[in-house]
Amino acid sequence: MSAPHVPVLLDEVLAALEPGPDRVLIDATFGAGGYARRFLDVGASVHAFDRDPDAIAAARADPGRWPELTPELVGAPPRLVLHPRRFSEMVEAMAELGVARVDGIAMDVGVSSMQLDQPERGFAFATEGPLDMRMGQQGPSAADFVNTAPEADIADVLFRYGEERQSRRLARAIVAARPLSTTTELATVVRKALGHLPGAPKDPATRSFQAIRIHVNGELEELEQALSAAEQLLASGGKLAVVSFHSLEDRIVKRFLREASGAGKTTSRHMPETEPEFAPTFAQVARAVRPSDAEVDRNPRARSATLRSATRTPAPPRRRLGSGPDKHVAVA
């Protein structure tokens, strides 16, 4: 059975993580398992996380593609372990199995192609579906948010996560059009409020759907927590590779690696030099990698992808205190 999703920057992720026999890796965003399949093919053991129960169920229903789920020898551990959990819960999940450290972690963040291509999941507006957008299929949906949230909260979400300059006007239009129950209804409201012309190169509904999806799933907070979890789980010399698809995600990853590598402090010739607050937890931070023209031609959804990778140092992990990007202290 072929995977319904084409993994982005696959060769580059493999080069960053260097999977091989006797290495334990985490595919933190399993999806259709494109990364995990290649990790397994070169002999690595994989712990795969996905908050979407459909992704986990699809793998369990396809033993032909995933024979590693069943031990070849009675009593031997499987080389693939599926975790139907958020990737922010990696530390707790691995601790439950007695695994303290891993050799590599891959994250392909954001919505998956399978979710986008299923109208009943409500992530896209190309075809009509219920206004849902929940990755984990639990909790408040997009319809719950747009139909019950105060106008100011809707405007804030549209501006913060969709970088929508006309967020207040759009929020007023959404509130006036309540109740909204389908993807096409919401897209129509957005286009009318923003004066969209049919045939224009970019549909303004794209920004709004992105913003609402990110809010409903708490995606940016999840990413921040997952990066912190990776810092705790990776062994010295372990590799981290993160593929993001828009500037908000990439900004979080870039900032995390800059600060964790000790490159985040500002310097001024008017101020005395100070020692770093803690030893760098990541080194060998690679330059951002983007897909080649050939990959974009094969898979247009790869167009906005960015890969950032780094190597874990022996320094103890930092522990987040309170909120904000720099609320960290070192822990032994």
CA distances from residue 125 to 80, 93, 101, 207 in whole angstroms, order as listed: 35, 35, 41, 12
Q: Is 1.10.150.170 the CATH classification of the domain at 121-218?
A: yes
Tell me the C-alpha distance between 81 and 24, whole Å: 11
User: What's the pLDDT score for residue 73?
Assistant: 62
User: What's the pLDDT score for residue 275?
Assistant: 53
CB atoms within 10 A of CB 80: 23
Q: Where are the domains of the chain?
A: 10-113+220-330, 121-218
CA distances from residue 109 to 8, 65, 70, 255 in whole angstroms, order as listed: 11, 23, 28, 16
Tell me the C-alpha distance between 270 and 256, whole Å: 26
Instruction: With beta carbons less than 8 A apart as the criterion, state whether 186 and 146 touch.
Output: yes
- 287 phi/psi in degrees, rounded to 5: -65, 150
Q: Record the pTM.
A: 0.88
Looking at every residue in the chain, the average pLDDT score rounds to 88
User: What's the pLDDT score for residue 85?
Assistant: 95
Same fold, 10-113+220-330 and 121-218: no
Region 189-210 average pLDDT: 87
Thinking of the domain 10-113+220-330, which architecture would CATH place it in?
A: 3-Layer(aba) Sandwich (3.40)
Per-residue model confidence as pLDDT tens digits over 254-312: 999 999 999 865 444 555 555 556 899 999 999 999 999 999 999 988 999 999 999 99
Q: Comparing C-alpha atoms, which of 323, 269, 241 is closest to residue 16? A: 241
Instruction: With beta carbons less than 8 A apart as the criterion, state whether 113 and 5 touch.
Output: yes
What angle (nearest 5°) sits at the alpha carbon of residue 290, between those of residues 284 and 296?
Answer: 155
Per-residue model confidence as pLDDT tens digits over 16-73: 999 999 899 999 999 999 999 999 999 999 999 999 999 999 999 999 999 999 876 6
- Dihedral Cα 102, 67, 301, 210, nearest 10 deg: -70
Q: Is the dihedral of CA 126, 130, 134, 135 positive or negative?
A: negative
Tell me the C-alpha distance between 116 and 91, whole Å: 29
